[in-house]
Structure 1
Amino acid sequence: MQEYAGLTDATTDARRSAIYLLDQILGENRLMSECLAAGALERLSPQDRARAQRLATETMRGLERADRLLQKHLRKYPPLTVRNALRLGTVELAGGEAAHGVVNAMVEIVSRHKRHGALKGLVNAVLRKMAETAPEAWDTLRNPRLPKWLRSPLVAAWGPEAVAGMERAHFAGAPLDITLKPGAKVDLPGAVELPTGSLRLAEAGQVTALPGYDAGDWWVQDAAAALPARVLAAQPGESVLDMCAAPGGKTMQLAATGATVTALDISEGRMRRVHENLDRAGLEAELVIGDALEHEGSYDAILLDAPCSATGTIRRHPDLPHAKDGAEFGGLIELQAQMLAQAWSLLKPGGRMVFCTCSLLPDEGEVQVEEALATHDDMSVDREALMVPGVDSSWVTEEGGLRLRPDFWADRGGMDGFYIACLRKAG
């Protein structure tokens, strides 16, 4: 972000920072979360930081539509930074932002760029045309499709109609879901209770300002992500391992049951978030920073939310299919198998384990469990454990897991994609 001449900290705004995030995602194949963790927006005020992240997210979500509108007015694509300024401007104009402010801001940002300042005239001309056409033309375009590298295997697994439904959910974005601490009572304006017990807010605003946040009465957690801990159903006094604990939503659910919880994660930074979240909610768990494959112990119950492609979270993270290309998925699938076997070795006879991934790919869910069942003679699936309140029996898969998809609950705002299986160890 040092390529903008004359832009001091006082004049750095959310739009320029959003363009920087887009450059990193589309030019450097970095996830937005990686950029934020590296301090990409740390110089902005909290309000501008939130706005920059929102603008970049909305632009990634509508990228295909923006490109389709822009290609009519470009003989050739300009450099990536300029193209991203045009994309962001188009998305803002299509969303009803005042044309004067959007066009002037993008022209100003590009004009101050040390290498691309001469293209300010192009930005001005193209965005003025977008101001005339984008608001009406936007809704005539199809829902943005997933890149072919991801869309093809999903169509093979779930069929074109289901994938089209997922893409509708991705484009619509995700409302805010929260999990209530047992016994807590909060009055959240506009909150709707979902069948599984989570609360959903269509318009949340600043999360930390909502009633009950500081008191730890609830925490942010997608309704689908709240189900693995409910399926595990930890009991008071049980020894429970949350094997990949960060950022801590599932740990908090487990700790709230009265179980003796060990939260394990390899990332010290992410475990700080777990500690902060537990402290805010007044909950307790033993926090262990370490490699799950080297962990030792013996537990009554284990929750393994294994590292995965995160393809089930695109509603919230539309940058993911553009920053990645699937090349690392083979290694993740192998790691999942190793972690599942390791977790099984830590489970007491007669114990139970929930294996889950926030993935839409069967290789990271259904196939993993099929292969584990074939490998371990003392392993069986517990289908009854899956039937917690709000779960539709049609979501249970052939091998005995639970398949959740973004196109489920379409009339309620969808859910993250997840795979969940409850595995019982022979006594």
Structure 2
Amino acid sequence: MGATRTPVRGPAKGAAKGPGPGAPVPGMAARRTAVDVLGNIVHKHRPLDLELDPSGGHPGFRALEPKDRSLVRAILGAALRRRSQIESILQKLLDRPVPEKSGRVMDILHVAAAQMLFLDIPDRAAVSLAVDMASADKRARLYKGLVNGVLRRLGREKDTLLAEPVAGAAGLPLWLATRWTETYGEARLGQILAAQASEPALDLSVKADAAGWAERLGGRVVAAGSVRLQRKGAVDEFDGFDEGGWWVQDAAAALPARLLGDLAGKRVIDLCAAPGGKTAQLAAAGADVTALDISEKRLGRVRENLTRLGLSAEVVAADIRAYTPEMPFDAILLDAPCSATGTMRRHPDVAWTKRPSDIVTLAALQAELLRRSAGWLKPGGVIVFCTCSMEPEEGELQIASFLAEVPGYELVPVLPEEIGGLAECITPVGYLRTLPCHFGGGEAPDGGLDGFFAARLRRL
């Protein structure tokens, strides 16, 4: 397997060889933060977004300068997307497993290997900083010689090691790789992993005139009207942000709301609404929208987005299981809590923060929410159930169970023309099932969609 390297600015040529005694080591704070955050994700199952939150995340990350924050993001992206591959390579370089009481040795090795294998950072910098970090850790310092030896050998043999087959799937833990092989087959799994191996493009949903916005922002129209950009940077500095012309939303995430059809003047409720992308879609389509979410804090972001976009909705903080609407709705969109295994293109930590038991627990919750909320429909009304999960229990099996157990509802199959002609994303039964390897109307390397499931049900 070849390596895809992400350019990261390294030390300038001609720079001083090192700091004076007691002075901060350039780049050390960023690497130490990357090691800490990686450990929190892999061992404590902390989501990456929470760790890198600029206001309440990891204190080391919050203390970094912007350029060092970018470096941490790049290191963690490579370390998580390629974790299984890095693990396989390190196992070949270690004579025996590193003891559990060795402190952060393995996390240090993973962070250094990610830089050496997949980022455009000089090997000597990655090795030196890794050895310094091991020396500074009272449990890891006994293994600083091992860290030095393993990484120097990695530098000499990396081309050969990268060309060797990976033990397992490069970006997945064994349990998830086994699951996806059984569900999608080995060939499709290979395509999914290839799509998840690099950072995806940025997708926007627009209130109107997708072609105009694509031209204005230097992007292209994909899927059913999303605008895809290759540019990076702070989105609040992009053209049109302040005027509320668009919002960030993966092209696949924008599809389920389209399945509700013409919404002008209809009463619609968006359940589990935060952060509000689908609420904005519904409001922009002319619906009378109620946006409901259990988290008042997360609803603050929904309100902010609606204000910026010049859209309106009734925002309600409530638990679906305890909420009763005053009157039935014409349409319901339930984006149910799920394992989020379809979002690994953008959130590579998901593979390492989720466990098999999460799927069982979340599927049970989804069934409860679907059965309760479906009863809020008017006769003839439709509900779209969706999840950003790749797991059948949170998609196809969930709907099959509902239709078998709950009378008075029928499946309304998805049609290609409703989703921009993406016929490959419709199952034989009529469900929407997008995969990371679906290009969504884009082309490599800017193709790809989040993994999404959606089904449309009508109340008889």
- Report the TM-score, using the length of structure 1 for normalisation: 0.90
Q: Within 2, Cα distance between the matches of 1:69 and 1:284?
A: 52
> Measured at CA, do residues 253 and 189 of structure 1 come closer, stay the same or move farther in structure 2, by a change above 3 Å?
closer
Match of 1:44 in 2: 64
Please tell me the residue identity of whatever aligns with 1:148: L
Please tell me the residue identity of whatever aligns with 1:15: R
SS of structure 2 residue aligned to 1:252 = helix
Match of 2:413 in 1: 383
Residue of structure 1 aligned with 2:79, choices 46, 59, 67: 59
Give the Å deviation of 1:234.
4.8
Is 1:179 matched with 2:205? yes
Match of 2:293 in 1: 265
> Measured at CA, do residues 271 and 361 of structure 1 come closer, stay the same or move farther in structure 2, by a change above 3 Å?
same
Q: Within 2, Cα distance between the matches of 1:54 and 1:213?
A: 25
Kept in 2: contact 1:23–1:80 (CA 8 A): no
Q: Within 2, Cα distance between the matches of 1:52 and 1:390?
A: 37
Please tell me the residue identity of whatever aligns with 2:254: A
Kept in 1: contact 2:131–2:144 (CA 8 A): yes
> Measured at CA, do residues 176 and 347 of structure 1 come closer, stay the same or move farther in structure 2, by a change above 3 Å?
same
SS of structure 1 residue aligned to 2:197 = helix
1:216-275 alpha-carbon deviations (Å, 9 max, x no partner): 222211111110111123522211100010111111111111211111111122212212
Is 1:198 matched with 2:226? yes
SS of structure 2 residue aligned to 1:13 = helix
Match of 1:127 in 2: 151
Match of 2:140 in 1: 116
Kept in 2: contact 1:379–1:425 (CA 8 A): yes
SS of structure 1 residue aligned to 2:455 = strand
Residue of structure 1 aligned with 2:363, choices 324, 329, 333: 333
1:369-427 alpha-carbon deviations (Å, 9 max, x no partner): 1122223332112225664142433432243311111122274532111111111112x
1:166-205 alpha-carbon deviations (Å, 9 max, x no partner): 1222223422211122247445655222142212223423
1:42-92 alpha-carbon deviations (Å, 9 max, x no partner): 333444334323321210111122223222332234435221121111111
SS of structure 2 residue aligned to 1:388 = helix
SS of structure 2 residue aligned to 1:287 = strand
Match of 2:329 in 1: 299
Please tell me the residue identity of whatever aligns with 1:35: E
Q: Within 2, Cα distance between the matches of 1:266 and 1:300?
A: 22
Give the Å deviation of 1:31.
2.6
> Measured at CA, do residues 379 and 190 of structure 1 come closer, stay the same or move farther in structure 2, by a change above 3 Å?
same
Unaligned runs of 5+ in 2: 1-21
Q: Within 1, Cα distance between the matches of 2:25 and 2:242?
A: 31
Kept in 1: contact 2:276–2:305 (CA 8 A): yes
Q: What does 1:221-300 align with in structure 2 at a 5 Å threshold? A: 221-297=249-325, 298-300=328-330
> Measured at CA, do residues 209 and 14 of structure 1 come closer, stay the same or move farther in structure 2, by a change above 3 Å?
farther
Kept in 1: contact 2:103–2:139 (CA 8 A): no
Give the Å deviation of 1:123.
2.5
Is 1:170 matched with 2:190? no
- Identical-pair percentage: 39
Is 1:414 matched with 2:448? yes
Q: Within 2, Cα distance between the matches of 1:93 and 1:348?
A: 59
Please tell me the residue identity of whatever aligns with 2:113: T
Once the two structures are overlaid, the 10-residue window that deviates more, 272-281 or 108-117, is: 108-117
Match of 1:91 in 2: 114
> Measured at CA, do residues 102 and 288 of structure 1 come closer, stay the same or move farther in structure 2, by a change above 3 Å?
same
Kept in 2: contact 1:315–1:416 (CA 8 A): yes
Kept in 1: contact 2:339–2:354 (CA 8 A): no
Unaligned runs of 5+ in 1: 1-5
Q: What does 1:337-376 align with in structure 2 at a 5 Å threshold? A: 337-376=367-406
Match of 2:179 in 1: 153
Once the two structures are overlaid, the 10-residue window that deviates more, 24-33 or 201-210, is: 201-210
Q: Within 2, Cα distance between the matches of 1:203 and 1:70?
A: 34
Is 1:16 matched with 2:50? no
Give the Å deviation of 1:288.
0.8
1:299-326 alpha-carbon deviations (Å, 9 max, x no partner): 1111000111111112222222222221
Q: Within 1, Cα distance between the matches of 2:314 and 2:416?
A: 27
Please tell me the residue identity of whatever aligns with 1:366: E
Kept in 2: contact 1:29–1:322 (CA 8 A): yes
Match of 2:104 in 1: 81
Match of 1:27 in 2: 43
1:98-125 alpha-carbon deviations (Å, 9 max, x no partner): 1232222223333322432343333333
Q: Within 2, Cα distance between the matches of 1:399 and 1:122?
A: 55
Match of 1:3 in 2: none
Please tell me the residue identity of whatever aligns with 2:131: V
Q: Within 2, Cα distance between the matches of 1:43 and 1:223?
A: 34
> Measured at CA, do residues 174 and 287 of structure 1 come closer, stay the same or move farther in structure 2, by a change above 3 Å?
same
Once the two structures are overlaid, the 10-residue window that deviates more, 224-233 or 182-191, is: 182-191
Q: Within 1, Cα distance between the matches of 2:348 and 2:195?
A: 11
Kept in 1: contact 2:206–2:226 (CA 8 A): yes
Once the two structures are overlaid, the 10-residue window that deviates more, 144-153 or 357-366, is: 144-153
Kept in 2: contact 1:232–1:301 (CA 8 A): yes
Kept in 1: contact 2:203–2:248 (CA 8 A): yes
- Report the TM-score, using the length of structure 2 for normalisation: 0.84
SS of structure 1 residue aligned to 2:205 = strand
Q: Within 1, Cα distance between the matches of 2:57 and 2:414?
A: 45
Kept in 1: contact 2:288–2:313 (CA 8 A): yes
Aligned length: 421
Q: Within 2, Cα distance between the matches of 1:128 and 1:386?
A: 53
Please tell me the residue identity of whatever aligns with 2:116: L
Match of 2:244 in 1: 216
Once the two structures are overlaid, the 10-residue window that deviates more, 274-283 or 182-191, is: 182-191
Kept in 1: contact 2:82–2:171 (CA 8 A): no
